[in-house]
Amino acid sequence: MPHFITPSLRTRRTPFSRWVEQKGVKAYTVYNHMLLPTLFESLEEDCAHLKRAVQVWDVSAQRQVELKGCHAERLLQMTTPRNLARMRDDQCCYVPMVSPDGYMLNDPVVIRLAPDRFRVSLADSDMLFYFKGLVAGFGLDVAVFEPDVSPLAIQGPLANDLAAKLWGDKVRDLRFFRHMKVDVGGKGMLLARSGWSKQGGFELYLDGAEYAEDLWKRLFEAGEGMDLRAGCPNGIERIESGLLSFGNDMTLSDTPQQAGLGRYVQDVPGCLANDALKAMARPMRIIRAVEIAAHDIPGCVSPWPLWMQGKRVGEIRSAAYSPEFEIGVAIAMIDAPAWSPGTLLQVEGPGDEWLEATVRPGFWR
């Protein structure tokens, strides 16, 4: 498959594009109609680096939608079964967003800035239009817009040291999924303890594209001697960690329970999907971590059918070879009863090749 994108305004560049390109972009994918760069030569070497040092990722494509107004919380709660009532003004929350018939629309991080002001840090689907539709249909008092805010992830075991160099030791005390204000070029910006890896770190929400250069240069100056690299989410690490990818691991055809997000389904007043989710509380298939007995695993660019003794029981949706665990790591959607840990399955791989797979009790990290 060729790896080219014909650029135009639709494939939006980010405030960091110029600077990451200087570090050597190898390819782009498109996410929320925006460029999401790949920087590594080797996925496996990059994974090892992410686990030992620190990387800065241009994840501006995690597009922000701001909801501001007296019905902002009500609007949000209409879209998610996770209870947002007790969120604090310095808190972020990972939430499944669902349609009224109970199917996944997105799995964003919601950031509360004030009781009447939230940002939704989107996975790859057009929630801004959906929010605008709800506002119009229900006559809500909320402004829905895309602010000029672009997340930059700082991930890896040395992320604390790097962030502390820029913003002081207080960043070390920031708790998981909490945020604080830090200074970038004289402007207060939001720094959160979050990110799409489990190697630790932060996301800095750049508030104004014109500050990108200053932030980028300060980070790379501070990162000297830390083996800091410009990077991007790593497909091996995120599967090992069980960080789901909307559009890959789950889609509009899956319920949150099927997507393995049942722990966030809380029957909260105001969620439009309550009845539908109750009716579908016992899923017929579910997301599982799966181990594939192979050392050479190609990218999963179409689902790989899963079989159990000649019967079709689901599909692999993401896969990679893990140098750390010396096995193929994968995320699969599997029918009952083949989803029980320990179940042996056959994978119809991309070639003519058949591979052996085993359902795991959980992810690797």
| Footprint of ligand THG (CB under 6 A) | 62, 94, 107-109, 121-123, 151, 177, 194-196, 203, 243-244
Closest CA to 331 of 264, 265, 236: 236
Q: Cβ 82 to ligand THG, closest distance in Å?
A: 9
Is residue 73 within 8 Å of 84, Cβ to Cβ? yes
**Closer by beta carbon to ligand THG, 171 or else 243:** 243
**Share of the chain residues as helix, strand and coil, in percent rounded to the nearest 5:** 20, 35, 45
Both structure tokens of 55: 């990387």
**Closer by beta carbon to ligand THG, 17 or else 106:** 106
**Closer by beta carbon to ligand THG, 123 or else 191:** 123
**Closer by beta carbon to ligand THG, 319 or else 347:** 319
H or E, element range at 153? strand 149-155
Q: Cβ 78 to ligand THG, closest distance in Å?
A: 19
Is residue 359 within 8 Å of 347, Cβ to Cβ? no
Is residue 145 within 8 Å of 132, Cβ to Cβ? no
**Closer by beta carbon to ligand THG, 81 or else 151:** 151
CA distance 122 to 43: 24
Q: Cβ 354 to ligand THG, closest distance in Å?
A: 31
Q: Cβ 240 to ligand THG, closest distance in Å?
A: 12
Q: Using alpha carbons only, what angle is made at residue 271 by residues 75 and 93, rounded to the nearest 5 degrees?
A: 70
**Closer by beta carbon to ligand THG, 108 or else 349:** 108
Q: Cβ 336 to ligand THG, closest distance in Å?
A: 23
Q: Cβ 139 to ligand THG, closest distance in Å?
A: 29
Pairing relationship of beta strands 201-207 and 187-192 according to DSSP bridges: antiparallel
Closest CA to 62 of 6, 119, 5: 119
